[in-house]
Amino acid sequence: MQKKSLYIVVVCSVVGASCGGGASSPASVGPSQVGELGNARFSYQGSANAQIQTTSAGLSVATFAGVTLTGFNVNPAQTNENSALSYLTTGAVVYEYQNGFSQTINTGTNLGAFDSKFDHAGHMYFTAETAAPQGVIVRCNYDGSSPTTVLSEAGVPQNIDVSASDAYIAFDVYEAGLYSCTTSGGGVTSLDTAGSEPAINPNSTKVAYVKTVGGYTQIFTVPITGGTGTQLTTDSVNHYYPAWTSDGLAVYCDYDNGTTRTIMGYFATGAAAGAQYDTLLTSNFPYSSQVAFSPDGKYFAVTQRASYSGNASTDYVATMTANGGNLAQIASGASSPAWSPFFPNKVFVGSGGALATSAAGFIFTQLQTGFDSLVSFSATTPSSTTVTPLDQAPAGGTGPFVYDVYGENLSNVTYTNNYDGAVHPTTLDVTNCLVSIDATTGQVNSIAPFLVARGTPLQANKASLEFHAHFTAVYDKNGKNLAPSGASDLVLDPKHGSVLSVR
């Protein structure tokens, strides 16, 4: 899950524009063209000469002259860089991308969340208590935006799973049993009045769950539309939190013998159904629970504790390779990890685009196959737009990239720092905008619109990244305006490009 070289793509729309950098390789393009830059696909109108430039630091720059961009969509490669983890911490839902970016999601309730899961269409579902003993199931975007209540319950929904078909939800209600319904909240069906902790199999036909029989908590399966449950495990230990393998042939779960809790795999189909076949974690980890597999099956996430006799306050979420190596602690005071599917193809510029319906240009960054940030900008006259580099990171890859974006009546600069992260729009009517990007993470660290007479050079100390101009606002990486009344001086961190001071 490590990333390597950083690539930054800049697309601007002015004849003769220069984005700086190393050698260029022009290619003639015509009207109604479709372009490709890494995982990004985009379309544009007009004739232009495309220039792609690469610096020694791994920066790739493409310049398009005299075009109006009518589309930009990203179809990431299916690697773990293009997935996310969610987990619970102090009753809140947090999601974290594999580059370390994390964000706490507002669940809309002060009583806390219980569980979260992803579908395959860019949504997260979470359960939360609204008023004791009442709760809801909510669907939102990965970043928590556009929340919609799918189901309100007189009881409190707790554990939840979403089918790979995106058609069903399975959930349990405190002291009321196991249920399924459609992802729109219809067709609620009781699956087992004593069942809990559901996990839906990959072909969306069965639910694995836990139920106490004979003094032990065992794993059962039941059709997702209802029917008779079938007992899978019969060991004289307690089992919790089942999770299916991607091929649907096995179920992993907690295996608690009273002195250690580890993760055990069981055959789920055929003559060997219910037989043990794999211990995922050994006694080196005295307490491991709630396994979640990465979408490619090469990694898993678990909730762990330093000792079996510890309590939930000492829980932490960790990831490991499938053989239990490369342990990496993701978050302390956390539990209930859930791994997203690979990110789907997403439109950023175009009809229904996350950033804009059209644009005069954009700045796009990615680390290998991983999406990191995208800035789009519009202007009354798209052909007037230029992107000029003011500072570039040295060959070692440290330091920020700083760009001066110009356009006649530059009207909109919108940016996002993760594939399904929050989108930060800015409403402005300026001539220029400074954009700084951290060369280490590939993320936008500041957006600073300003006004200057055309042909007048920006007053700047490039060595110390100090700028003097009529700044109308200064936005940080999270979209917060640090200068709502404007500013005349801006100082950026020479290592990362974040805002050090405004005045």
Give the whole-angstrom CA distance, residue 25 versus residue 339: 40
List the domain boundaries for the chain.
6-77+344-502, 84-339
Q: Is the pLDDT of residue 20 over 60?
A: no
Question: How do 328-332 and 189-192 pair as beta strands?
Answer: unpaired
pLDDT band, residue 283 (cuts 50/70/90): low
> Full-prediction pTM beyond 0.85?
no
Q: What is the pLDDT of residue 90?
A: 80
More confident call, 73 vs 194: 194
Q: How many angstroms separate the CA atoms of 87 and 303, rounded?
A: 9
Radius of gyration of the chain measured on its C-alpha atoms: 26
Cβ distance 309 to 321 under 8 Å? no
What is the rounded CA–CA span in Å between residue 40 and residue 371? 9
CATH of domain 84-339: 2.120.10.30
User: Of 45, 56, 18, 68, which is closest to residue 362 (Cα–Cα)?
Assistant: 68
Buried b (16+ CB within 10 A) or exposed e, 282-302: eeebbbbbbbbbbbeeebbbb
The pLDDT tens digits of the residues spanning 161-187 come to 999 999 999 999 999 999 999 999 999
**Average pLDDT of 453-474?**
88
Query: Does the pLDDT value for residue 263 go beyond 90?
Result: yes
State the burial class of residue 117 (Cβ atoms within 10 Å of its Cβ: 0-12, 13-18, 19+).
buried
| Contact assessment for residue 30 and residue 74, using Cβ atoms and an 8 Å cutoff | no
The fraction of the chain above a pLDDT of 70, given in percent, is 85
Structure tokens, 216: 């032990």
Considering only residues 98 and 257, tell me which one the structure prediction assigns the higher pLDDT.
257
Measured CA to CA, the distance from residue 64 to residue 19 in angstroms comes to 10
Q: Residue 59: which pLDDT band, with cuts at 50, 70 and 90?
A: very low
Question: Is the pLDDT score of 389 beyond 60?
Answer: yes
Q: What whole-number distance in Å separates Cα of residue 174 and Cα of residue 133?
A: 9
The first and second tokens of residue 418, run together, are 């993760």
In whole angstroms, what is the distance from residue 362 CA to residue 52 CA? Answer: 14
- Residue 356 has a pLDDT of 93
d(CA 203, CA 494): 51
Which distant-in-sequence residues (6+ apart) come within 8 Å of 323 by Cβ? none
Q: Which of the four pLDDT bands, split at 50, 70 and 90, describes residue 97?
A: low
DSSP letters spanning 293-349: E-TTSSEEEEEEESSTT--GGG-EEEEEETTS-S-EEEEESEEEEEE--PPPPEEEE
Contacts of 210 (CB under 8 A, 6+ apart): 195, 196, 197, 217, 218, 219, 220, 239, 240, 241, 242, 253
Q: Tell me, what's the pLDDT at 10? A: 57
pLDDT tens digits, one per residue of 336-370: 999 999 888 889 999 999 999 998 888 888 765 67
For residues 241 and 209, give the distance between their C-alpha atoms in angstroms, rounded to a whole number: 7
Asked whether residue 55 carries a pLDDT value surpassing 70, the answer given is no
